[in-house]
């Protein structure tokens, strides 16, 4: 299946099933749930863009943009980052009913990892 760009998705599992990263418009609840589930799926939330969904169109709001940490990160760091992302969504103006979540692998972006290198990140003590 393909992400429909003129649809507001209300279930977080659709984000993972359809690979909605950076393109899928999610309801407030679905976006929050994506943030809370992302680390357990090996993802860190790197950006949230919020706005208003109306008549099949997304109007972004400048005061609803959040930038997370860049990978690579430890699992614990990703959990904390993603919790901050969910908290940000909950803190935005209630009129903002749609969010775009951008995530990346906790171990780092594939194009930034040298050939033959491991993608693991050591847990900091």
Enter the pTM of the model: 0.88
Tens digits of per-residue pLDDT, 48-105?
A: 999 999 999 999 999 999 999 999 999 999 999 999 999 999 999 999 999 999 999 9
Domain annotation covers residue 50: yes
Query: Is position 118 within any domain?
Result: no
Q: What are the tens digits of pLDDT across the range 22-32?
A: 999 999 999 99
Phi, psi of 117 (to 5 degrees): -80, 155
Q: Is residue 60 part of a domain?
A: yes
From CA 53, how far away is CA 50, in angstroms rounded?
A: 9
Read off the CATH number of the domain in which 25 is found.
3.30.190.30
Rg of the chain over all Cα atoms, to the nearest angstrom? 15
Enclosing domain of residue 36 = 8-112
**Number of structural domains the chain divides into:** 1
Nearest to 34 by CA among 97, 108, 100, 106: 100
């Amino acid at each position: 299946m393909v992400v429909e760009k003129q649809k507001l998705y209300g279930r977080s599992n659709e984000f993972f099933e359809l690979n909605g990263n950076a393109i899928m418009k999610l309801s407030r609840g679905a976006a929050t749930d994506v943030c809370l589930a992302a680390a357990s799926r090996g993802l860190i939330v790197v950006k949230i863009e919020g706005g208003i969904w109306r008549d099949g169109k997304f109007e972004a709001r400048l005061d609803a943009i959040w930038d997370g940490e860049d990978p690579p990160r430890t699992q614990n760091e990703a959990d904390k980052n993603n919790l901050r992302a969910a908290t940000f969504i909950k803190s935005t103006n209630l009129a903002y009913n749609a969010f775009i979540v951008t995530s990346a692998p906790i171990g780092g972006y594939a194009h930034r990892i040298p050939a033959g290198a491991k993608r693991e990140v050591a847990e900091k003590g």
